[in-house]
Structure 1
Amino acid sequence: MAGNIYKNPAFYINNNTVANTSMPNHNYNMKHFLLLISIILVTNFSSYCQSQQNGSGLIQITTPIDNKTFAIKKLTKDSVLLYTGRLSNIDQEIRQGKFYFFNNGKVCASGEYDQNIPTGLWIYYNETGDILYKINYSKVIDYLKNEAMNYTPDSVINKNFSKEDEKYMNKNGTFVAVEKMPVFNGNDTTKNFEEYVSKNLKYPIYAEKNGIEGTVWVTAIIDVNGKIRNPEIMKPSITDLNIEAIRVISESPAWKPGCHKKIPVNVLYIFPIKFKIRD
Protein backbone atom coordinates (compact mmCIF):
# COMPACT_ATOMS: atom_id res chain seq x y z
CA MET A 1 0.00 0.00 0.00
CA ALA A 2 1.24 3.46 -0.87
CA GLY A 3 1.89 5.96 1.87
CA ASN A 4 2.43 5.68 5.60
CA ILE A 5 -0.19 4.34 7.99
CA TYR A 6 -0.71 6.36 11.16
CA LYS A 7 -2.19 4.92 14.31
CA ASN A 8 -4.33 7.07 16.55
CA PRO A 9 -2.40 9.07 19.14
CA ALA A 10 -3.82 9.43 22.62
CA PHE A 11 -4.03 13.02 23.80
CA TYR A 12 -2.92 13.71 27.36
CA ILE A 13 -4.74 16.90 28.20
CA ASN A 14 -2.67 19.27 30.39
CA ASN A 15 0.34 17.13 29.56
CA ASN A 16 2.59 17.25 26.51
CA THR A 17 3.08 13.48 26.23
CA VAL A 18 1.67 11.66 23.20
CA ALA A 19 1.44 7.87 23.07
CA ASN A 20 0.28 5.38 20.45
CA THR A 21 -2.44 3.03 21.62
CA SER A 22 -4.20 0.05 20.09
CA MET A 23 -7.92 0.55 19.51
CA PRO A 24 -10.81 -1.48 20.99
CA ASN A 25 -13.79 -2.73 18.99
CA HIS A 26 -17.19 -1.08 19.59
CA ASN A 27 -20.85 -1.95 19.03
CA TYR A 28 -23.17 0.95 18.40
CA ASN A 29 -26.51 0.43 20.10
CA MET A 30 -28.41 1.22 23.27
CA LYS A 31 -26.66 -1.37 25.43
CA HIS A 32 -23.50 0.74 25.33
CA PHE A 33 -25.37 3.72 26.75
CA LEU A 34 -26.67 1.52 29.56
CA LEU A 35 -23.17 0.15 30.11
CA LEU A 36 -21.81 3.68 30.22
CA ILE A 37 -24.30 4.64 32.94
CA SER A 38 -23.53 1.44 34.87
CA ILE A 39 -19.79 2.17 34.77
CA ILE A 40 -20.43 5.68 35.99
CA LEU A 41 -22.47 4.52 38.98
CA VAL A 42 -20.17 1.67 40.05
CA THR A 43 -16.91 3.58 39.80
CA ASN A 44 -18.28 6.57 41.65
CA PHE A 45 -18.85 4.60 44.85
CA SER A 46 -15.47 2.87 44.82
CA SER A 47 -13.64 6.15 44.21
CA TYR A 48 -15.53 7.88 46.99
CA CYS A 49 -14.82 5.09 49.48
CA GLN A 50 -11.16 5.33 48.67
CA SER A 51 -11.19 9.04 49.37
CA GLN A 52 -12.64 8.38 52.82
CA GLN A 53 -10.15 5.62 53.56
CA ASN A 54 -7.25 7.86 52.63
CA GLY A 55 -8.18 10.19 55.45
CA SER A 56 -9.35 13.30 53.63
CA GLY A 57 -9.97 15.03 56.96
CA LEU A 58 -13.43 16.16 55.85
CA ILE A 59 -16.41 15.95 58.17
CA GLN A 60 -19.63 14.44 56.87
CA ILE A 61 -22.97 14.78 58.61
CA THR A 62 -26.02 12.83 57.43
CA THR A 63 -29.53 13.33 58.80
CA PRO A 64 -32.61 11.20 57.96
CA ILE A 65 -35.41 13.12 56.27
CA ASP A 66 -37.64 10.10 55.71
CA ASN A 67 -37.20 6.37 55.11
CA LYS A 68 -35.68 6.93 51.68
CA THR A 69 -33.98 10.31 51.88
CA PHE A 70 -31.07 11.68 53.91
CA ALA A 71 -29.65 15.18 54.14
CA ILE A 72 -25.89 15.38 53.75
CA LYS A 73 -23.56 18.15 54.84
CA LYS A 74 -19.81 18.13 54.16
CA LEU A 75 -17.38 20.37 56.06
CA THR A 76 -13.65 20.80 56.38
CA LYS A 77 -11.88 19.67 59.55
CA ASP A 78 -12.19 23.30 60.65
CA SER A 79 -15.99 23.12 60.19
CA VAL A 80 -16.06 25.27 57.05
CA LEU A 81 -19.14 24.34 55.02
CA LEU A 82 -18.33 22.82 51.61
CA TYR A 83 -21.71 21.60 50.38
CA THR A 84 -25.17 20.35 51.28
CA GLY A 85 -27.51 17.98 49.47
CA ARG A 86 -29.55 14.81 49.70
CA LEU A 87 -28.85 11.09 49.40
CA SER A 88 -31.22 8.32 48.35
CA ASN A 89 -28.94 5.66 49.84
CA ILE A 90 -26.86 6.41 52.90
CA ASP A 91 -24.71 3.26 52.71
CA GLN A 92 -23.62 3.79 49.12
CA GLU A 93 -24.03 7.56 49.35
CA ILE A 94 -26.10 7.90 46.19
CA ARG A 95 -26.57 11.60 45.47
CA GLN A 96 -30.14 12.45 44.55
CA GLY A 97 -31.69 15.88 44.09
CA LYS A 98 -30.39 19.39 44.62
CA PHE A 99 -26.87 20.15 45.89
CA TYR A 100 -25.43 23.51 46.94
CA PHE A 101 -21.70 24.21 47.13
CA PHE A 102 -20.07 26.99 49.13
CA ASN A 103 -16.98 29.19 49.17
CA ASN A 104 -16.50 31.39 52.23
CA GLY A 105 -20.09 30.85 53.28
CA LYS A 106 -21.56 31.85 49.91
CA VAL A 107 -23.08 29.61 47.26
CA CYS A 108 -20.55 29.10 44.46
CA ALA A 109 -22.43 26.41 42.53
CA SER A 110 -25.69 24.47 42.49
CA GLY A 111 -27.11 21.58 40.52
CA GLU A 112 -29.07 18.34 40.67
CA TYR A 113 -28.16 14.67 40.67
CA ASP A 114 -30.15 11.69 39.49
CA GLN A 115 -28.69 8.54 41.02
CA ASN A 116 -25.21 10.14 41.24
CA ILE A 117 -25.35 11.49 37.68
CA PRO A 118 -25.26 15.29 37.28
CA THR A 119 -28.40 16.34 35.42
CA GLY A 120 -30.24 19.48 34.43
CA LEU A 121 -28.75 22.94 34.58
CA TRP A 122 -25.71 23.47 36.81
CA ILE A 123 -24.92 27.08 37.67
CA TYR A 124 -21.58 28.45 38.93
CA TYR A 125 -21.31 31.84 40.69
CA ASN A 126 -18.54 34.31 41.48
CA GLU A 127 -17.86 35.82 44.90
CA THR A 128 -20.51 38.53 44.44
CA GLY A 129 -23.22 36.06 43.44
CA ASP A 130 -23.15 36.81 39.72
CA ILE A 131 -23.41 33.86 37.35
CA LEU A 132 -20.07 32.76 35.93
CA TYR A 133 -21.36 30.06 33.61
CA LYS A 134 -24.00 27.37 33.19
CA ILE A 135 -23.68 23.73 32.13
CA ASN A 136 -26.64 21.69 30.89
CA TYR A 137 -25.83 18.07 31.73
CA SER A 138 -29.24 16.84 30.57
CA LYS A 139 -28.11 17.86 27.11
CA VAL A 140 -25.09 15.57 27.48
CA ILE A 141 -27.24 12.62 28.60
CA ASP A 142 -29.66 13.17 25.72
CA TYR A 143 -26.73 13.31 23.30
CA LEU A 144 -25.38 9.99 24.59
CA LYS A 145 -28.78 8.34 24.28
CA ASN A 146 -29.21 9.61 20.74
CA GLU A 147 -25.73 8.48 19.68
CA ALA A 148 -26.17 5.04 21.25
CA MET A 149 -29.52 4.46 19.56
CA ASN A 150 -29.05 6.13 16.18
CA TYR A 151 -25.38 6.09 15.21
CA THR A 152 -24.05 3.35 12.94
CA PRO A 153 -20.77 3.40 10.98
CA ASP A 154 -21.06 4.32 7.32
CA SER A 155 -20.58 0.91 5.74
CA VAL A 156 -21.02 2.31 2.22
CA ILE A 157 -17.55 3.85 2.21
CA ASN A 158 -15.99 0.47 2.89
CA LYS A 159 -16.88 -0.59 -0.64
CA ASN A 160 -13.98 1.58 -1.76
CA PHE A 161 -11.48 -0.61 0.07
CA SER A 162 -10.02 -4.05 -0.37
CA LYS A 163 -9.62 -6.98 1.99
CA GLU A 164 -6.09 -5.76 2.62
CA ASP A 165 -7.47 -2.53 4.05
CA GLU A 166 -9.65 -4.37 6.57
CA LYS A 167 -6.65 -4.95 8.82
CA TYR A 168 -6.73 -1.20 9.53
CA MET A 169 -10.39 -1.35 10.63
CA ASN A 170 -12.19 -2.71 13.65
CA LYS A 171 -15.10 -5.12 13.21
CA ASN A 172 -17.52 -2.20 12.70
CA GLY A 173 -15.59 -0.89 9.72
CA THR A 174 -14.14 2.07 11.62
CA PHE A 175 -10.50 2.76 10.86
CA VAL A 176 -8.01 2.51 13.71
CA ALA A 177 -5.03 3.38 11.50
CA VAL A 178 -5.06 5.56 8.38
CA GLU A 179 -2.74 7.22 5.88
CA LYS A 180 -3.81 10.70 7.01
CA MET A 181 -5.05 11.32 10.56
CA PRO A 182 -7.90 13.70 11.41
CA VAL A 183 -6.74 17.26 12.06
CA PHE A 184 -8.07 19.69 14.65
CA ASN A 185 -7.92 23.43 14.00
CA GLY A 186 -4.69 23.49 12.03
CA ASN A 187 -1.61 21.34 11.68
CA ASP A 188 -0.64 20.97 15.37
CA THR A 189 -3.59 18.83 16.42
CA THR A 190 -2.22 17.83 19.82
CA LYS A 191 -1.46 21.38 20.91
CA ASN A 192 -4.66 22.84 19.47
CA PHE A 193 -6.93 20.25 21.05
CA GLU A 194 -5.16 20.64 24.40
CA GLU A 195 -5.83 24.37 24.20
CA TYR A 196 -9.50 23.75 23.37
CA VAL A 197 -9.94 21.40 26.35
CA SER A 198 -8.01 23.69 28.70
CA LYS A 199 -10.28 26.58 27.76
CA ASN A 200 -13.59 24.70 27.88
CA LEU A 201 -13.19 22.02 30.54
CA LYS A 202 -14.93 22.92 33.82
CA TYR A 203 -13.70 21.14 36.93
CA PRO A 204 -16.79 19.59 38.57
CA ILE A 205 -17.34 21.25 41.93
CA TYR A 206 -18.15 18.01 43.80
CA ALA A 207 -14.85 16.46 42.74
CA GLU A 208 -12.97 19.65 43.56
CA LYS A 209 -14.47 19.92 47.05
CA ASN A 210 -13.55 16.30 47.78
CA GLY A 211 -10.04 16.64 46.34
CA ILE A 212 -10.73 14.07 43.62
CA GLU A 213 -8.42 14.02 40.59
CA GLY A 214 -7.91 11.54 37.79
CA THR A 215 -7.89 10.81 34.09
CA VAL A 216 -11.00 9.83 32.16
CA TRP A 217 -10.22 7.88 28.99
CA VAL A 218 -12.80 8.41 26.27
CA THR A 219 -13.00 6.81 22.84
CA ALA A 220 -14.88 8.58 20.06
CA ILE A 221 -15.22 8.40 16.30
CA ILE A 222 -14.23 11.32 14.12
CA ASP A 223 -16.52 10.69 11.18
CA VAL A 224 -16.24 11.48 7.48
CA ASN A 225 -17.65 14.97 8.13
CA GLY A 226 -15.21 15.71 10.96
CA LYS A 227 -17.85 15.40 13.67
CA ILE A 228 -17.29 13.70 17.04
CA ARG A 229 -19.58 10.69 17.20
CA ASN A 230 -20.49 8.03 19.75
CA PRO A 231 -18.09 8.90 22.61
CA GLU A 232 -17.72 6.13 25.16
CA ILE A 233 -15.89 5.94 28.46
CA MET A 234 -12.99 3.51 28.19
CA LYS A 235 -11.35 4.05 31.60
CA PRO A 236 -13.68 5.94 33.95
CA SER A 237 -13.28 8.01 37.08
CA ILE A 238 -16.15 9.28 39.25
CA THR A 239 -19.49 10.29 37.75
CA ASP A 240 -18.87 14.02 37.69
CA LEU A 241 -15.52 13.74 35.90
CA ASN A 242 -16.90 11.16 33.45
CA ILE A 243 -19.80 13.35 32.34
CA GLU A 244 -17.67 16.48 32.08
CA ALA A 245 -15.11 14.66 29.93
CA ILE A 246 -17.88 13.48 27.60
CA ARG A 247 -19.32 16.99 27.46
CA VAL A 248 -16.13 18.74 26.44
CA ILE A 249 -15.30 16.13 23.79
CA SER A 250 -18.83 15.98 22.33
CA GLU A 251 -18.96 19.79 22.02
CA SER A 252 -15.67 19.93 20.12
CA PRO A 253 -15.75 21.97 16.90
CA ALA A 254 -15.55 19.99 13.68
CA TRP A 255 -12.29 18.33 12.72
CA LYS A 256 -10.80 17.80 9.28
CA PRO A 257 -11.60 14.10 8.73
CA GLY A 258 -8.97 11.42 8.38
CA CYS A 259 -8.34 9.91 4.96
CA HIS A 260 -7.34 6.51 3.64
CA LYS A 261 -6.35 6.29 -0.02
CA LYS A 262 -7.42 9.93 -0.23
CA ILE A 263 -10.97 8.98 0.83
CA PRO A 264 -12.49 10.51 4.03
CA VAL A 265 -13.16 7.75 6.56
CA ASN A 266 -14.42 7.24 10.11
CA VAL A 267 -11.46 7.12 12.52
CA LEU A 268 -11.49 5.89 16.11
CA TYR A 269 -9.66 8.17 18.55
CA ILE A 270 -8.71 7.92 22.22
CA PHE A 271 -8.91 11.04 24.38
CA PRO A 272 -7.49 10.85 27.94
CA ILE A 273 -8.95 13.89 29.72
CA LYS A 274 -6.88 14.70 32.78
CA PHE A 275 -8.38 16.44 35.82
CA LYS A 276 -5.93 17.97 38.27
CA ILE A 277 -6.74 20.47 40.99
CA ARG A 278 -4.52 23.54 40.93
CA ASP A 279 -2.43 24.22 44.01
Structure 2
Amino acid sequence: MKYNGKFSKEYLIYKTDDFRNGECTRFRKNGDTVMHFFYKDAKRNGVFRGWKERGHLYKKAFMKDDFEDGITEYYFPNSKISARYVMEKGKVVESNFWNEDGSELDDVRLANIRPKFLGKDELAFSRWVAVRLVYPPDCARLNIEDTVLLSFKITAKGYLRDVTAIKSPHFQMEAEAIRVVESSPAWTPAVLHNQVSEITLVLPVIFK
Protein backbone atom coordinates (compact mmCIF):
# COMPACT_ATOMS: atom_id res chain seq x y z
CA MET A 1 0.00 0.00 0.00
CA LYS A 2 1.28 3.47 -0.86
CA TYR A 3 0.55 6.81 0.82
CA ASN A 4 1.62 10.08 -0.84
CA GLY A 5 3.76 8.05 -3.22
CA LYS A 6 5.54 6.11 -0.46
CA PHE A 7 4.96 2.64 0.88
CA SER A 8 3.07 2.73 4.20
CA LYS A 9 4.81 -0.34 5.65
CA GLU A 10 7.64 -2.77 5.01
CA TYR A 11 7.26 -4.75 1.82
CA LEU A 12 8.82 -7.70 -0.02
CA ILE A 13 9.96 -8.11 -3.59
CA TYR A 14 10.33 -11.67 -4.89
CA LYS A 15 12.27 -12.74 -7.96
CA THR A 16 10.75 -16.17 -8.39
CA ASP A 17 8.49 -18.16 -10.68
CA ASP A 18 6.87 -20.39 -8.08
CA PHE A 19 7.52 -18.74 -4.65
CA ARG A 20 9.53 -21.84 -3.76
CA ASN A 21 12.79 -21.02 -5.50
CA GLY A 22 14.34 -17.63 -6.09
CA GLU A 23 15.44 -14.39 -4.49
CA CYS A 24 13.71 -12.24 -1.88
CA THR A 25 14.45 -8.70 -0.67
CA ARG A 26 12.62 -6.94 2.16
CA PHE A 27 12.48 -3.14 2.25
CA ARG A 28 11.48 -0.51 4.78
CA LYS A 29 8.73 1.88 3.80
CA ASN A 30 11.38 4.51 2.93
CA GLY A 31 12.97 2.10 0.44
CA ASP A 32 15.97 1.05 2.55
CA THR A 33 16.84 -2.64 2.42
CA VAL A 34 16.08 -4.71 5.55
CA MET A 35 17.18 -8.17 4.40
CA HIS A 36 18.09 -10.19 1.34
CA PHE A 37 18.06 -13.97 1.01
CA PHE A 38 17.39 -16.89 -1.33
CA TYR A 39 14.81 -19.67 -1.40
CA LYS A 40 15.37 -23.24 -2.50
CA ASP A 41 12.48 -25.70 -2.23
CA ALA A 42 10.57 -23.10 -0.15
CA LYS A 43 13.38 -22.87 2.43
CA ARG A 44 16.03 -20.23 2.95
CA ASN A 45 19.35 -21.38 1.52
CA GLY A 46 22.57 -19.56 0.73
CA VAL A 47 23.73 -16.15 1.93
CA PHE A 48 21.43 -14.08 4.16
CA ARG A 49 22.18 -10.39 4.73
CA GLY A 50 20.41 -8.04 7.15
CA TRP A 51 20.64 -4.24 7.42
CA LYS A 52 19.71 -1.72 10.08
CA GLU A 53 18.95 1.95 9.49
CA ARG A 54 21.10 4.11 7.22
CA GLY A 55 22.48 1.16 5.29
CA HIS A 56 24.30 -0.47 8.21
CA LEU A 57 25.05 -4.07 7.21
CA TYR A 58 24.33 -5.75 10.53
CA LYS A 59 24.33 -9.47 9.82
CA LYS A 60 25.63 -11.97 7.31
CA ALA A 61 24.82 -15.67 7.62
CA PHE A 62 24.86 -18.85 5.60
CA MET A 63 21.55 -20.70 5.53
CA LYS A 64 20.77 -24.33 4.84
CA ASP A 65 17.15 -25.50 4.79
CA ASP A 66 15.99 -22.55 6.97
CA PHE A 67 18.78 -23.02 9.55
CA GLU A 68 21.92 -20.98 10.03
CA ASP A 69 24.66 -23.41 9.10
CA GLY A 70 28.28 -22.31 8.76
CA ILE A 71 29.57 -18.85 9.65
CA THR A 72 27.26 -16.13 11.00
CA GLU A 73 28.73 -12.67 11.56
CA TYR A 74 27.45 -9.40 13.05
CA TYR A 75 28.93 -5.96 12.37
CA PHE A 76 29.15 -2.60 14.12
CA PRO A 77 28.02 0.55 12.26
CA ASN A 78 31.71 1.21 11.48
CA SER A 79 31.70 -2.12 9.55
CA LYS A 80 34.01 -3.87 12.02
CA ILE A 81 32.95 -7.30 13.22
CA SER A 82 31.29 -7.61 16.64
CA ALA A 83 30.53 -11.35 16.72
CA ARG A 84 31.26 -14.50 14.77
CA TYR A 85 29.45 -17.78 15.36
CA VAL A 86 30.09 -21.21 13.91
CA MET A 87 26.63 -22.69 13.45
CA GLU A 88 25.37 -26.22 12.84
CA LYS A 89 21.67 -26.54 12.01
CA GLY A 90 20.82 -23.38 13.93
CA LYS A 91 22.90 -24.17 17.01
CA VAL A 92 26.03 -22.32 18.12
CA VAL A 93 29.14 -24.50 18.05
CA GLU A 94 31.74 -21.79 18.59
CA SER A 95 31.67 -18.03 19.19
CA ASN A 96 34.08 -15.08 19.25
CA PHE A 97 33.43 -11.41 20.01
CA TRP A 98 35.20 -8.12 19.33
CA ASN A 99 34.89 -4.53 20.52
CA GLU A 100 34.25 -1.60 18.20
CA ASP A 101 37.96 -0.72 18.17
CA GLY A 102 38.81 -4.19 16.86
CA SER A 103 40.12 -5.60 20.15
CA GLU A 104 38.83 -8.99 21.29
CA LEU A 105 36.22 -9.07 24.06
CA ASP A 106 37.80 -10.51 27.21
CA ASP A 107 34.63 -11.61 29.02
CA VAL A 108 32.25 -13.37 26.61
CA ARG A 109 29.47 -13.18 29.23
CA LEU A 110 29.16 -9.49 28.35
CA ALA A 111 28.36 -10.20 24.69
CA ASN A 112 24.68 -11.07 25.21
CA ILE A 113 22.79 -9.50 28.13
CA ARG A 114 19.05 -9.13 28.69
CA PRO A 115 17.72 -5.60 29.30
CA LYS A 116 17.47 -4.47 32.91
CA PHE A 117 14.64 -2.58 34.58
CA LEU A 118 16.00 -0.40 37.41
CA GLY A 119 18.90 -2.84 37.66
CA LYS A 120 16.63 -5.87 37.92
CA ASP A 121 15.08 -8.43 35.56
CA GLU A 122 11.85 -8.35 33.55
CA LEU A 123 9.87 -9.90 36.42
CA ALA A 124 10.55 -6.74 38.42
CA PHE A 125 8.91 -4.74 35.64
CA SER A 126 5.84 -7.00 35.78
CA ARG A 127 5.51 -6.22 39.49
CA TRP A 128 6.04 -2.50 38.85
CA VAL A 129 3.22 -2.52 36.30
CA ALA A 130 0.88 -4.56 38.52
CA VAL A 131 0.94 -2.11 41.45
CA ARG A 132 0.18 0.85 39.14
CA LEU A 133 -2.80 -0.61 37.31
CA VAL A 134 -6.17 1.01 37.89
CA TYR A 135 -8.91 -1.54 37.33
CA PRO A 136 -11.35 -0.11 34.75
CA PRO A 137 -14.69 0.45 36.55
CA ASP A 138 -16.77 -1.08 33.75
CA CYS A 139 -14.64 -4.23 33.81
CA ALA A 140 -14.89 -4.46 37.59
CA ARG A 141 -18.67 -4.05 37.41
CA LEU A 142 -18.89 -6.84 34.81
CA ASN A 143 -16.48 -8.96 36.88
CA ILE A 144 -14.05 -9.32 33.96
CA GLU A 145 -10.74 -10.85 35.03
CA ASP A 146 -8.31 -11.56 32.24
CA THR A 147 -4.90 -10.83 30.73
CA VAL A 148 -3.79 -8.22 28.23
CA LEU A 149 -0.77 -9.38 26.25
CA LEU A 150 1.45 -6.48 25.20
CA SER A 151 4.42 -6.21 22.87
CA PHE A 152 6.91 -3.35 23.12
CA LYS A 153 10.42 -2.44 22.08
CA ILE A 154 13.26 -1.24 24.27
CA THR A 155 15.52 0.94 22.16
CA ALA A 156 19.31 0.99 22.22
CA LYS A 157 18.96 4.08 24.45
CA GLY A 158 16.68 2.26 26.90
CA TYR A 159 13.39 3.94 26.01
CA LEU A 160 10.13 2.08 25.38
CA ARG A 161 8.32 2.45 22.07
CA ASP A 162 5.70 0.75 19.91
CA VAL A 163 3.61 -0.54 22.83
CA THR A 164 0.83 -2.57 21.22
CA ALA A 165 -1.70 -5.17 22.32
CA ILE A 166 -1.34 -8.69 20.93
CA LYS A 167 -4.35 -9.97 22.87
CA SER A 168 -6.95 -8.02 24.80
CA PRO A 169 -10.24 -9.06 26.43
CA HIS A 170 -11.58 -5.48 26.71
CA PHE A 171 -10.59 -2.14 25.19
CA GLN A 172 -10.49 -0.43 28.60
CA MET A 173 -8.11 -3.04 30.00
CA GLU A 174 -5.95 -2.63 26.91
CA ALA A 175 -5.84 1.15 27.27
CA GLU A 176 -4.94 0.94 30.96
CA ALA A 177 -2.19 -1.64 30.40
CA ILE A 178 -0.67 0.48 27.63
CA ARG A 179 -0.90 3.63 29.78
CA VAL A 180 1.08 2.08 32.62
CA VAL A 181 3.71 0.43 30.42
CA GLU A 182 4.27 3.64 28.45
CA SER A 183 4.94 5.47 31.75
CA SER A 184 7.96 3.24 32.45
CA PRO A 185 11.27 4.89 33.30
CA ALA A 186 14.20 4.14 31.03
CA TRP A 187 15.76 0.67 31.05
CA THR A 188 19.34 -0.47 30.71
CA PRO A 189 19.26 -1.67 27.09
CA ALA A 190 20.04 -5.16 25.90
CA VAL A 191 23.39 -6.25 24.49
CA LEU A 192 23.16 -8.65 21.55
CA HIS A 193 26.17 -10.00 19.68
CA ASN A 194 28.34 -7.54 21.65
CA GLN A 195 26.32 -4.52 20.51
CA VAL A 196 23.90 -2.39 22.50
CA SER A 197 20.69 -3.24 20.68
CA GLU A 198 16.97 -2.68 20.42
CA ILE A 199 14.92 -5.65 21.57
CA THR A 200 11.24 -6.62 21.54
CA LEU A 201 9.59 -7.96 24.70
CA VAL A 202 6.18 -9.49 25.34
CA LEU A 203 4.48 -8.79 28.67
CA PRO A 204 1.29 -10.32 30.12
CA VAL A 205 -0.61 -7.73 32.16
CA ILE A 206 -3.03 -9.48 34.50
CA PHE A 207 -6.25 -7.90 35.75
CA LYS A 208 -7.80 -9.73 38.69
Normalised to the residue count of structure 1, the TM-score between the two structures is: 0.38
TM-score scaled to structure 2, two decimals? 0.49
Compare the two structures and name the one with the higher strand fraction: 2
Structure ranking higher in helix proportion: 1
